[in-house]
């Protein structure tokens, strides 16, 4: 073969395709403002668009790295896996779906329960993984969160749950729905143990997760622009037969209407939560003796 012969001329067909794929990895279009953003700049900015401030979704591991000191944490209850109690089959069997999700995400189920330090204070954090069957809550997610709550109550360790979920997991039917009540009851005991729980709601937080723990925080914080709701907008429009207002079900809309306590940007979340926990611990120290004195 002559030295100047090439199998695939770079100016035609395959060559172009290859080049295009490569640049796609370096640059991406912001899904909000439509501007072209350098991926590295986006990653350095915690996956927040440097041009418009749009918060891209990030996975559960990245969440934990951002919240824990030096990104270090210990994972808990990592051995819990679902047993497919209903032998559920949709387009494929639930067992197959679980296996493919476990392989794709390297996670046993849709939540990571972790403990570590946040600005020097011990905290327990659970982060939901949207990529695992839409971050849906079945028996494993429910049990891991309940155990985290119980651990927090026992040792008076503050709890943070980062939600990103489509709601209860259809494939586990009523077993999923039972988790709502189980978690809510555990949170009641956490409240009695006077240990704070901060809920961080990210895009999207909907269905049974909104209907249980995500809205039960001592503070409920939304990430900017996150979709937060129970039913989807189309279902609501059909039910109430009215057009919904602009920006309905975003963090900002919910803050304005009293459903959230704050909307906090990703870069501020760790310090914001730490300051809130400082405040809670000061409040508790200040009020417990006084309440005891009045017999309350």
Residues within the interface to Zn ion (CB under 5 A): 30, 32-33, 49, 51-52, 54
Q: With respect to Zn ion, which residue has the nearer C-beta, 18 or 31?
A: 31
- Nearest to Zn ion of 227, 236 (CB atom): 227
C-alpha–C-alpha distance, residues 180 and 175, integer Å: 10
Q: What is the DSSP letter of 245?
A: P
Q: Which of 112, 106, 127, 122 is nearest to 75 (CA)?
A: 112
Least CB distance from residue 45 to Zn ion, whole Å? Answer: 11
φ, ψ for residue 269 (rounded to 5)? -60, -45
- Provide the minimum distance between the beta carbon of 227 and Zn ion in the complex, in angstroms, as a whole number: 17
Nearest distance from C-beta of residue 30 to Zn ion, angstroms: 3
DSSP character for 170? G
Range list of H helices, the chain: 14-26, 39-44, 60-67, 94-105, 139-155, 173-192, 207-210, 233-240, 251-256, 266-294
Of the pair 33, 267, the CB lying nearest Zn ion is at 33
Q: What is the largest CA-CA distance in the chain?
A: 97
User: Would you call the peptide bond into 204 cis, given omega within 30 degrees of 0 as the criterion?
Assistant: yes
CB of 267 to Zn ion, least distance (A): 15
Nearer to Zn ion, 37 or 273 (CB): 37
Q: Which is nearer to Zn ion, 50 or 232 (CB)?
A: 50
CB of 201 to Zn ion, least distance (A): 21
């Amino acid at each position: 073969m002559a030295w100047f012969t090439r199998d695939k001329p770079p100016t035609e067909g395959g060559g172009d395709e290859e080049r295009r794929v490569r640049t796609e990895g370096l640059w991406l279009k912001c899904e909000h403002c439509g501007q072209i953003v350098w991926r590295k700049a986006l990653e350095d900015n915690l996956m927040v668009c440097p041009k418009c401030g749009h918060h891209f979704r990030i996975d559960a591991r990245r969440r934990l790295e951002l919240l824990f000191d030096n990104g270090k944490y210990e994972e808990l209850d990592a051995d819990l896996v679902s047993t497919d109690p209903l032998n559920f089959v949709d387009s494929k069997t639930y067992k197959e779906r679980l296996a493919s999700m476990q392989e794709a995400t390297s996670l046993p189920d849709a939540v990571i329960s972790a403990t570590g330090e946040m600005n020097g204070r011990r905290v327990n954090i659970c982060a939901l993984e949207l990529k695992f069957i839409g971050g849906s809550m079945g028996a494993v997610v429910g049990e891991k969160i309940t155990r985290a709550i119980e651990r927090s109550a026992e040792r008076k360790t503050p709890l943070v749950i980062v939600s990103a979920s489509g709601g209860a997991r259809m494939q586990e039917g009523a077993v999923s729905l039972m988790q709502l009540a189980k978690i809510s009851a555990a949170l009641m005991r956490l409240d009695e143990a006077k240990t704070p729980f901060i809920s961080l709601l990210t895009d999207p937080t909907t269905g049974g997760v909104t209907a249980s723990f995500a809205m039960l925080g001592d503070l409920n914080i939304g990430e900017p622009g996150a979709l937060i709701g129970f039913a989807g907008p189309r279902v609501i429009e059909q039910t109430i037969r009215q057009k919904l207002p602009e920006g309905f079900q975003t963090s900002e809309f919910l803050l304005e209407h009293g459903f959230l306590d704050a909307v906090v940007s990703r870069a501020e979340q760790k310090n914001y939560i730490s300051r809130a926990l400082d405040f809670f611990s000061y409040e508790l120290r200040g009020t417990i003796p006084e309440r005891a004195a009045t017999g309350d």
